[in-house]
A and B are shown apart, each in its own frame.
Chain A
Amino acid sequence: MWSGHGGFESGYGGAAISGGYTQSPGGFGSPAATQGEKKQRSRSQNIVPCTVSQLYAAEQIDETFKIREVEISQVVIMGIIRQAEKAPTNILYKIDDMTAAPMDVRQWVDTDEAGSENVVVPPGTYVKVAGHLRSFQNKKSLVAFKIMPLEDMNEFTTHLLEIVNAHMVLRKSIMTTSKMPQSLGSFGMSDMASYGCGSNVPVNGLTAHQSQVLNLIKSCPDPEGLSLKELKSQLHNINMTTIKQAVEFLSSEGHIYSTVDDDHYKSTDAE
């Protein structure tokens, strides 16, 4: 069922998300299909710390949710369990973080697997919940893929700060680039620090040097492609070692391929 369940740290990349959706019971079939397709456009790959009030206020446009223009899908909340109801296939919690009324959080239970998934966390416990935001008949809820009791309440203080930081930073990057930031990881604190920095900031996963090399290779119409010598002569500010490293990276990523020999490359993108 929830194959990503035990793999919270590793399992929130794109593949795990769509895998989880298609297997999800609970009647959300159509959102799963469209969200799978939407994966290739710049939809949120982030997991964003939020308040329950933000989740309730999030606007829904088709299958996407937005909080102040920031697209959200996977979220982390922290709150106290007010109620826990165990059903055969799921546990329904009401989780309260003081910002609004408690939120419904559903955790699907793997009926075959004995173990922690079936243990109900008792009311009165502060927990960290990672899950997907859902809306059904205008009522928001979360489908949790991980619920963990907080062992150190200082984590809660950190969470308060992370919420402000994440939403501020995400909103700023939307306002300035008008495009979703790529691969923020947890929500990109360290990436954000280097965001405005200059030539070595990855864009689309490529550094400036790699992009320059790729663009030159792409623009070459010859069937045997562009040679390393030609690249060096056109890119005066980049030394041969860097060019070779860029070519190696681009080749291993599949952006370019060698033609007549290891010195000549063409782009895999049709121009």
Chain B
Amino acid sequence: MGDVHEGPRPRIATSHLAQHLGKPVCFVGRLEKIHPSGKLFILSDGEGKNTTVELSEPLDEELSGVIEVVGRVTNQATILCMSYVQFREDKSAFDLALYNEALKIIHEFPEYFPFGVTRND
């Protein structure tokens, strides 16, 4: 499968999953629900749309709040998680809606926010 962490992982929202099937991505969302098996959880993005995240090993810790997931999009438009990180919100709450707006900007200007290294400047 290759280590997805060694290459670009476009930041996406739920609505972009379909365009990234099979590809490595980075998804930030708020934890809505953890499946009792601990191998699946649901995150909602800044537009309130849900994404299912699958784990190869069950979760071994309590998760809450805003989670950033790195993984590969499956053909079912879920994300197979390779790693995740919890955003700290101890000092201030993370504005997920604003992050979603920022995603729109960085997607609109790939020449100023490239994912991946190209040398054709």
Contact = CB atoms under 8 A, between A and B. Distances in A.
Nearest to A82: B5
Contacts of A51: 113-114
A148 interface: no
A100 interface: yes
Contact of B114 (A57, A80, A126): A57
Contact of A168 (B109, B114, B119): B109
A116 interface: no
A239 B103 CA distance: 51
A53 B98 CA distance: 23
A157 B114 contact: no
Interface in B59-99: 66, 70, 85, 87-89, 91-92, 94-95, 98-99
Nearest to B3: A101
B85 A157 contact: no
B9 interface: yes
B116 A157 contact: no
A161 interface: yes
Give the most central of B11, B99, B112, B113: most A CB within 10 Å.
Answer: B112
B102 A99 contact: no
Interface of B: 5-11, 26, 66, 70, 85, 87-89, 91-92, 94-95, 98-99, 102-103, 105-106, 109, 111-119, 121
A151 B88 contact: yes
Given A157-B98, A157-B102, A160-B105, A68 B111 contact: yes
Interface in A151-183: 151-154, 157, 160-161, 163-164, 167-168, 171
A54 B113 CA distance: 8
B88 A168 contact: no
A69 B103 CA distance: 25
Majority DSSP secondary structure for residues of A touching B: mixed
Nearest to B111: A68
A188 interface: no
Contact of B105 (A59, A66, A100, A161): A161
Interface residues of A, number: 33
Contact of B98 (A150, A154, A164): A154
B95 to A, nearest CB: 6
Contact of B117 (A56, A152, A164, A171): A56
A54 B99 contact: no
Contacts of A124: 85
Contacts of A80: 85
A80 B83 CA distance: 12
17 contacts: A51-B113, A53-B114, A53-B116, A57-B114, A59-B119, A68-B111, A98-B11, A100-B115, A100-B117, A126-B85, A153-B89, A154-B95, A160-B102, A161-B102, A164-B106, A167-B113, A168-B112
